[in-house]
Amino acid sequence: VQWHSEDGSRVEGVYLYPLDITEGDPAPLVVQIHGGPKGRVTRSLRSYYMSSVWASEGYGVLLPNFRGSEGYGNAFAIANWRDIGGGDFADIMSGVDFCIAKGLVNPKQLGIMGGSYGGFMTNWAIGHTDRFRAAISMFGIFHLQTDYSNSDFPHWDKDYLGGWYWEDPDIYRKLSPGSYVANIQTPTLILHGDDDNNTFISNSKEMYQALRHRGVTTQFVHYPREGHGVREPNHKLDEMRRC
């Protein structure tokens, strides 16, 4: 599917129809955000989020290739430099509106989920809109300074923000989902691996602590021996059931 973002940019993605759809009966929608952000989604049966399982359970699934994704040229890939959570978030929400306008999904039954950068974007989204009825944050960034300080890949933050946090502390604050935690009302499931050295688990601990103290419905599940994503079969089954 293709749509136009709020600034007129053309955005592409994949939409999975739910099993046994009924024409004129819009489905609940799950938006699944890929990582990277310089990753991409393709039309494939297998993915980390197991999108086909969600479709088989009656959900429509939108997988957007928002700006910053690979496969659309260099200008598109770097279009979110110093703007993570800006134009890319607009691309995603425009995709949601596209699905609603097409009559595919019920605007009152929207969910969002993602891991790694998809987790960042999930955390960002629920701090900037109350349109989602539920969210699943999977090993995502909550505070960018925390991310830099604990990650085995600290250059990620500098590459996307244009400097270290002591050089430009304002942009680290401005673009951190944690800066908008007071806005979050969405029930949120938080998932993380205990041994994640990419996006350190402290991100999810900080988010869970804040949501609990604010009285937001939340659950935090952390998996032993797991790194950046859940791999052990029994953990994967538990992850899918909880989602």
From 143, 192, 228, 235, the catalytic residue: 228
Tokens 């300080």 appear where?
149
Residue 202 bears catalytic tag: no
Query: Catalytic residue among 116, 137, 176, 204, which?
Result: 116
Whether 228 is a known active-site residue: answer yes
Distance CA 71, CA 147 (A): 26
Q: Which residues are catalytic?
A: 116, 228
